[in-house]
Structure 1
Amino acid sequence: MNPAESGAHRTAPAGVTTLLVIAKEPLPGRVKTRLTPPFSPVEAARLAEAALADTLRTVRVLPAARRAVVLDGAPGPWLPSGIEVVAQGMGGLDERLAAAFGACSGPTLLIGMDTPQVTAADLAPALSRAAWDGCDAWFGPAEDGGFWALGLAAPDPGLLRGVPMSVPETGAVQRRRLVDAGLTVRDLPRLRDVDTAADAAYVASLAPHGLFAAALARSTRVAAG
């Protein structure tokens, strides 16, 4: 049983780190557009909703001082209890990420909604009581060259503004920005984002009991039929 299933109704433990998930409301035509084709916009939105739900259910049971989804859109039935909703800022992704950090104080870890396979073990190094001892930043590289997680002991929006987003060098530029600022950076595991149908199949195989895998199986059966 994965964390999303086993801990959905458990009292969330306290911690020292604010834990954020940046996300879009899963509406057809607005999310996961690179999945169409082979999936329809409605199917792609259902996959995005399942990915977000899996991510938030994992976040819900992790030790954190505060848990919030930084949302572009309106919350829906995918939102579990214990998760605060914060509206995203305006501008490009770098500006929106910067605004999310700028609204926080103290250690903050932000993750995306595109890695539904993420586990408590993947995030544990950045959420322990000793996570920030001698560490200024946590960085989670993505296989496509981006990043799926970023943590800052002292949130500084200037560390994100101007970083080119959604390009193969995004992760390298962001990590270099941290190092050049004199920060001590530790790395989280490298994960694969869901952008394409091949990504979806691979990620579902890593978390076969999650909502995302179930949604993908339903979509695949419909397409095959």
Structure 2
Amino acid sequence: MTRAPICGAVKTRLAREIGPVAASALTRALTARLLRELACDARFRCMLAVSPPTATMARFPAWRAGGRVQRLAQVRGDLGARMQALLDRCGKEPVVVVGTDIPGIAREIIADALRLLRRADAVFGPAEDGGYWLVGLRRRPKILKPFANVRWSSEHALADTLANLQGCRVAFAKTLFDIDTGADYRRYRRLESAATRIIFAKNL
């Protein structure tokens, strides 16, 4: 799931701390990175759920970074309504939904989450702030609807969602951090800088 990287209209809470230009640039960079990481993996099929619904692949080159990726329009509503609509539209196979503001996503983590769904009804990737960066549903024999009365953008999001899954088998993927605040952004920049130095050292 991603929002169009329109300056002033994306990552607005973060933009208040780092500025709208940096926030939109971050969205473009993370989306392109995620698609490069996941879209070419033959173990799963990637779809990009975009907001606003009128946003097109042609307008935003970052969305084409992974090659052939199907575009889906997000419906209107809160995060739970938008995720539920996506899960309802994707047939009966296991599905995982992730955002594009989590720099630590890797293809093996996604593959592991799908493997967990062979035995579990739902899988979550916990975020360090009490929310979650991944949700996956097995979807057989029925599609679960776990997003009612969830306090989104709070430390209660994961606990509230789990409360809706009483009696279901739940598994957990790796805990990662997402970029919602200026502190998160500075942490991301430090990690990126360290990774660049390591790559440069290896090339010496």
Task: Give TM-score scaled by structure 2 length.
Answer: 0.82
The alignment yields a C-alpha RMSD, in angstroms, of 2.2
Is 1:31 aligned to residue 31 of structure 2?
no
**SS at 2:134 equivalent:** strand
Residues in 1 aligned to 2:123 and 2:191: alpha-carbon distance in whole angstroms: 23
Verify: 1:43 aligned to 2:22, yes or no.
yes
- 1:88 matched to 2:67? The reply is no
Aligned counterparts, 1:65-80, within 5 A: 65-73=44-52, 74=55, 75=57, 76-79=60-63, 80=65
Rounded Cα–Cα distance in structure 1 between residues aligned with 2:21 and 2:149: 33
Match of 2:199 in 1: none
- The structural deviation recorded for 1:123 is 2.1
**Partners in 2 of 1:209 and 1:56 — Cα distance?**
22
Separation of aligned partners in 2, 1:58 and 1:45: 20
- Once the 2 structures are TM-superposed, how far is the Cα of residue 157 of structure 1 from its aligned partner? 5.7
Question: What's the secondary structure of 2:41's corresponding residue?
Answer: coil
Q: 1:36 to 1:162 in 2, by over 3 A?
A: same
What is aligned with 1:175?
Answer: 162
Matched with 2:201 is none
Deviations 1:114-145 (A, max 9, x none): 102211232231234xx433221110111111
Where structure 1 has 5 or more consecutive residues not aligned to the other structure, the ranges are: 1-21, 214-225
- For 1:213-224, list aligned pairs within 5 A: none
- Do the aligned partners of residues 60 and 205 (structure 1) sit closer, same or farther apart at CA in structure 2, a change above 3 Å counting? farther
Equivalent pairs: percent with the same residue?
A: 31
Q: How many residues align?
A: 186
Map of 1:197 onto structure 2: 182
Letter in structure 2 aligned against 1:104: C
Map of 1:11-160 to 2, 5 A cutoff? 22-73=1-52, 74=55, 75=57, 76-79=60-63, 80=65, 81-105=67-91, 106-128=93-115, 131-154=116-139, 156=143, 158-160=145-147
Provide the secondary structure at the position in 1 that maps to 2:18: coil
Write the distance in 2 (CA, Å) between the matches of 1:49 and 1:208. Answer: 18
Distance in 1, matches of 2:29 and 2:13, equals 16
Spell out structure 1 runs of 4+ moving beyond 6 A.
none
Q: Secondary structure at the match of 1:62?
A: coil
Q: 1:152 to 1:32 in 2, by over 3 A?
A: same
**1:107 Cα deviation after fit:** 0.4
Which residue does the alignment assign to 2:200? none
> d(CA) in 1 for partners of 2:192 and 2:108?
13
Following the alignment from structure 1 to structure 2, what is the Cα–Cα distance between the partners of residues 46 and 184?
Answer: 39
Greater alpha carbon shift after TM alignment, 103-112 vs 50-59: 50-59
For normalisation by structure 1, the TM-score amounts to 0.75
Counterpart CA distance in 2 for 1:87 and 1:64 is: 24
